[in-house]
Amino acid sequence: MFGFLRYGPMVVLVLVNALIFAIGDTENGILTNHLLVQLHEGSYDEAPQVALEHGFESVRKLPFGDGLFHFYPQSSPLSRRKRSAGHGQSLQKDHRVKSVLQQAGFDRQKRGYRDLNQVDINMSDPLFTKQWYLVNTGQADGTPGLDLNVAEAWGLGFTGKGVTIAIMDDGIDYLHPDLAANYNAEASYDFSSNDPYPYPRYTDDWFNSHGTRCAGEVSAVANNNICGVGVAYNSKVAGIRMLDQPFMTDIIEASSISHMPQVIDIYSASWGPTDDGKTVDGPRELTLQAMADGVNKGRGGKGSIYVWASGDGGSYDDCNCDGYASSMWTISINSAINDGRTALYDESCSSTLASTFSNGRKRNPEAGVATTDLYGNCTLRHSGTSAAAPEAAGVFALALEANPDLTWRDMQHLAVLTSKRNRLHDEVHQWQRNGVGLEFNHLFGYGVLDAGGMVKMAKEWKTVPERFHCVAGSIQETHKVPSEDKLVLTITTDACQGKENYVRYLEHVQAVVTVNASRRGDLNLNMTSPMGTKSILLSRRPRDDDAKVGYDKWPFMTSHSWGEDPRGTWQLEVLFQGEVPQTGTLQEWTLMIHGTQSAPYIDQIVRDYQSKLAMSKKEELEEELDEALERSLKSLLSKN
Ligand SMILES: *[C@@H]1O[C@H](CO)[C@@H](O)[C@H](O)[C@H]1NC(C)=O
Ligand SMILES: *[C@@H]1O[C@H](CO)[C@@H](O)[C@H](O)[C@H]1NC(C)=O
Ligand SMILES: *[C@@H]1O[C@H](CO)[C@@H](O)[C@H](O)[C@H]1NC(C)=O
Ligand SMILES: *[C@@H]1O[C@H](CO)[C@@H](O)[C@H](O)[C@H]1NC(C)=O
Ligand SMILES: [Ca+2]
Ligand SMILES: [Ca+2]
Ligand SMILES: [Ca+2]
């Protein structure tokens, strides 16, 4: 018992560390000059002095455990590639010191600085060196290292084998020599003309090249001297042709989304309601049902993975007005350009989970997305968030090969935990940390997907605990939105504590809002969680001059409070932004919270270290982890 109490907190730290920083990669004993030091009771106040005496300029009390301190040098890189055992030894002998643990160095922060000679990939495909989104060596004036880190995943042996990705689009040139070998004909269908052959309809301007380009990003064959290489180049790609008819219907959408859910693992969609900055629309009844069925029953109950492009409406649109992108059941993907900036067509919203890469801003023709094109051709110019979603589908295919047991929620957790800020730069919205320290941005979500990080974590992953849904509170009375001032409402919630559906660790949060306005586009909604995370639920859309419909029970979703404790007071702020004073009335705000009762990640930590920890200690560990998750993911998840 004593042993556990003594080392318990330290074990938690190390375990959380190990989990977050890609398990198992201790890099041949590379040690950092960062020490975890536990002082004896009574010596806590002397920490700065102890540190200084042993050559450490900086010391920080850790918010978890008893008497735990972080000793580190003032101005040196986080990890030097040399040992500094000397400090540790002298500290160990100090009577005030109970124990010292030198922190092992993990390779995370080095991504942007990767030595490119270390990328040991030999592809014969002529476009491979132009595919900066796969391996960015600074092509087309890009930022070296700003890429999907697929090289690491491939190096570990994951190339998408056994995984099928469907491209729901305008068809696929399945005769293309760079796609044919990976084409899954059985899983393909043409819902635009109701036949099994989703071949693109010919037009002079190659209008229907979209699906073929997306397919190449995912599944183009590697090392065949043709075009480039797919993110998951040994995966299978299915074509679902469904965009090429005069009108979309609920039946076509629903049929596409629910096509062969036991064969197709991942569905990639690069379409949605018109990105004109004034549309508010989402899946209709059948499609909603199809999506719900997909996540509940697809892939043998583990859930279909739906990947969605967040939209090309630029700063005039808000992807929370797109019910496909903002659905909890889809993983919505935004795009960065090859130097880490936003693309001008990027829409921002609080439901975007992560980002990949696409073209934009730069005139350089090679700054686009290189992939397959119609009639056996290749292109350097695939573009838009359309190009971003299939890259994500490819990364998820790598993760599914690493661990076929991943559920649709596991995939979202993995994306949240392993996506990186890297050098992504949003001129408008700052990067922030949420209540458990996860770094996010209003446009990029949790950052750019990291295939290497994702497969490593996926391999060790244990399914997250059961999901619960709680109506945290509801205000259903009329409130005027003042013309000049803010309307501020609050809901205080216990998150259904004491009930079966208690939600203690958040995943998605939805604010279901009914509000009308003399000019809908001028409405701005922000919501702040009890842990202080502000989500912009709706930004101004200057082109939306609707004065009649407003929002009718519209579910504004945020993923920014992921991992947080939902108990406490939530605040909704409603404001008109714009030149002319407007009037409006809010009639409902219902707060829906979704997540788990027990700590996610705890089971895998216990499993991985069962030899060190008796199962009976799990509850204690869980208590420690509660604290650790809440307060210290922040310091542990040092994202670049
Ligand atoms: C790389 O590929 C080229 C052409 O296929 C081949 O000649 C060369 O030996 C390969 N190099 C390595 C290191 O595999
Ligand atoms: C596409 O490929 C065809 C057949 O190889 C070729 O004749 C044609 O010139 C190519 N078109 C473009 C635009 O590159
Ligand atoms: C909004 O709804 C309220 C209550 O139904 C109504 O009185 C008001 O006129 C509406 N305002 C607008 C701008 O439609
Ligand atoms: C919402 O947050 C944004 C960004 O911090 C801010 O500019 C805006 O004024 C806020 N709006 C409301 C309604 O509080
Ligand atoms: Ca057809
Ligand atoms: Ca190829
Ligand atoms: Ca949009």
Convert the pLDDT of each residue in 250-302 to its tens digit.
Answer: 999 999 999 999 999 999 999 999 999 999 999 999 999 999 999 999 999 99
For residue 584, give the 3-state DSSP assignment.
strand
Token representation of residue 617? 């200690």
The lowest-confidence range among 20-24, 382-386, 522-526, 604-608 is: 20-24
**Model confidence pLDDT, tens digit, residues 42-61:** 999 999 999 999 988 888 88
124 within ligand 1 shell (Cβ under 6 A): yes
Joined together, the tokens standing for residue 362 give 């730069």
**575 has pLDDT over 90:** yes
Within 8 A by CB and 6+ apart from 26, the residues are 104, 105, 106
- The answer to whether 123-459 and 467-598 have equal CATH topology is no
Rounded mean pLDDT, 11-32? 37
Other C-beta atoms lying within 10 Å of the C-beta of residue 482? 15
> In the annotation, is 318 catalytic?
no
Cβ burial of 284 (10 Å; 0-12, 13-18, 19+) is middle
> Cβ atoms within 10 A of the Cβ of 462, count?
17
The pLDDT value recorded for residue 19 is: 31
> Which pLDDT belongs to residue 614?
47
Cα–Cα dist 328/407, whole Å: 14
CA–centroid distance, residue 246 to ligand 5 (Å): 15
Give the range among 53-67, 386-400, 407-421, 515-529 with minimum mean pLDDT: 53-67
Compute CA 196 distance to the chain's CA centroid, rounded to the nearest angstrom: 34
Q: What are phi and psi of 433, to 5 degrees?
A: -110, 140
The residue whose CB lies within 8 Å of the most ligand 2 atoms, and thus the one to mutate among 377, 379, 381, is: 377
Write the pLDDT tens digit of every residue in 301-343: 999 999 999 999 999 999 999 999 999 999 999 999 999 999 9
The pLDDT assigned to 78 comes to: 43
User: Which protein residue's CA is at the shortest distance from atom 10 of ligand 4?
Assistant: 526
Task: Output the ligand 4 site: residues, CB below 6 A.
Answer: 486, 524, 526, 536, 573, 575
Cα within 13 Å of Cα(335), Cβ side: 32
SS3 for 203?
coil
Q: How far is CA 488 from CA 218, 343, 446, 477, 485, in A?
A: 45, 33, 28, 14, 9
pLDDT of 122:
86
pLDDT at position 522 = 98
Q: How confident is the model at residue 73 (pLDDT cuts 50, 70, 90)?
A: confident
Name the residue with higher pLDDT: 11 or 557.
557
Q: What is the residue with the minimal CA distance to atom 2 of ligand 1?
A: 122
Whole-number pLDDT of residue 24: 29
Is 70 exceeded by the pLDDT of residue 31? no
Is 169 in the active site?
A: yes
Task: Take atom 3 of ligand 4 and give the residue whose Cα is closest.
Answer: 536
**What token pair was written down for 508?**
């998605």
- pLDDT band of residue 30 (cuts 50, 70, 90) is low
Q: How confident is the model at residue 15 (pLDDT cuts 50, 70, 90)?
A: very low
pLDDT at 476: 98
Helix (H, G, I), strand (E, B) or coil at 388: helix
> For residue 295, how many other CB atoms are within 10 A of its CB?
22
Is the per-residue pLDDT at 77 higher than 80? no
Between 23-27, 266-270, 393-397, the lowest mean confidence (pLDDT) is in 23-27
Report, as an integer, the average pLDDT of 124-152: 95
SS3 (DSSP) at 176: coil
Residue 206 zone, left/alpha/beta (φ > 0; ψ -120 to 50; rest)? left
Predicted local distance difference test score (pLDDT) of residue 143: 94
Asked if the model's pLDDT at residue 369 lies above 50, the reply is yes
User: In the prediction, which pLDDT does 398 show?
Assistant: 98
Q: How far is CA 248 from the centre of its chain?
A: 29
β-pairing, 31-39 vs 58-61, is unpaired
C-alpha–C-alpha distance, residues 415 and 407, integer Å: 12
- Which ligand is closest in space to the CA of residue 539? 4
Please tell me the pTM assigned to this model: 0.81
- Coil, strand or helix at 605: helix
Pocket test for ligand 3, best of 516, 519, 546, 549 (most atoms within 8 A of CB): 516
pLDDT, position 64: 62
Gap from CA of 228 to ligand 6 centroid (Å): 4
At residue 565 the predicted structure's pLDDT band, cuts being 50, 70 and 90, is very high
Catalytic residue among 192, 209, 327, 386: 386
**What are the extents of the domains in the chain?**
29-105, 123-459, 467-598, 600-640
Active-site residue (options: 70, 79, 125, 169): 169
Amino acid at 192: S
pLDDT at 5 over 90: no
Residue 210 Cα, ligand 2 centroid: separation in angstroms?
A: 17
Q: How confident is the model at residue 362 (pLDDT cuts 50, 70, 90)?
A: confident
CA of 272 to the centre of ligand 5 (A): 22
Q: How many CB atoms lie within 10 A of CB 224?
A: 15
Q: Provide the pLDDT for residue 90.
A: 84
Instruction: Check if the beta carbon of residue 449 is closer than 8 Å to that of residue 354.
Output: yes
Is residue 75 within 6 Å of ligand 1 at its C-beta? Answer: no
The Cα-based distances of 157 to 154, 221, 233, 402 in angstroms read 5, 16, 12, 9
Closest residue by Cα to residue 292 from 278, 303, 308, 307 = 303
In this structure, are residues 456 and 22 in contact, taking their beta carbons and an 8 Å threshold?
yes
Q: What CATH fold (topology level) applies to the domain 29-105?
A: Alpha-Beta Plaits (3.30.70)
Q: Which of 6-10, 107-111, 326-330, 450-454 has the lowest mean pLDDT?
A: 6-10
- 447 close to 439: Cβ distance less than 8 angstroms: yes
Q: How far apart are CA 49 and CA 527, in angstroms?
A: 44
How far apart are the CA of 226 and the centre of ligand 1, in A?
16
Where does the pLDDT of residue 507 fall: very low under 50, low under 70, confident under 90, or very high at 90 and above? very high
Atom number in ligand 4 closest to CA 574: 13
- Separation CA 267–CA 233 (nearest Å): 16
Fold of the CATH domain 123-459: Rossmann fold (3.40.50)
Q: What span, in angstroms and rounded, lies between the C-alpha atoms of 326 and 282?
A: 9
Catalytic residue of the set 34, 54, 87, 210? 210
425 tagged catalytic: no
Which of 162-171, 396-405, 494-503, 598-607 is predicted least confidently? 598-607
Residues with CB under 6 A from ligand 2: 375-377
Mean pLDDT of the residues in the chain: 87
SS3 labels along 396-419? HHHHHHHCCCCCHHHHHHHHHHHC
Give residue 17's pLDDT band: very low, low, confident or very high (50, 70, 90): very low
* Distance (Å) from CA 526 to ligand 4 centroid: 6
- The yes-or-no verdict on residue 461 having pLDDT over 80 is yes
Residue 619: pLDDT above 90? Answer: no
| pLDDT score at 617 | 59
pLDDT of residue 25: 31
pLDDT score at 266: 98
Q: Which residues of 242-251 are buried (b: 16+ CB within 10 A; e: fewer)?
A: bbbeeebeee
Q: Which CATH class, in words, describes the domain spanning 467-598? A: mainly beta
Q: What's the 131 CA to ligand 7 centre distance in angstroms?
A: 27
- For position 510, what pLDDT does the model report? 98
Compute how many other C-beta atoms are within 10 angstroms of the C-beta atom of residue 444: 31
Q: How far is CA 284 from the centre of its chain?
A: 25
Report residue 628 as tokens.
Answer: 């650790």
Note the pLDDT of residue 33.
75
Share of the chain above pLDDT 90, in %: 75
Cβ of 225 closer than 6 Å to ligand 1, yes or no, is no
- pLDDT value of residue 287: 96
CA 633 to chain centroid: 16
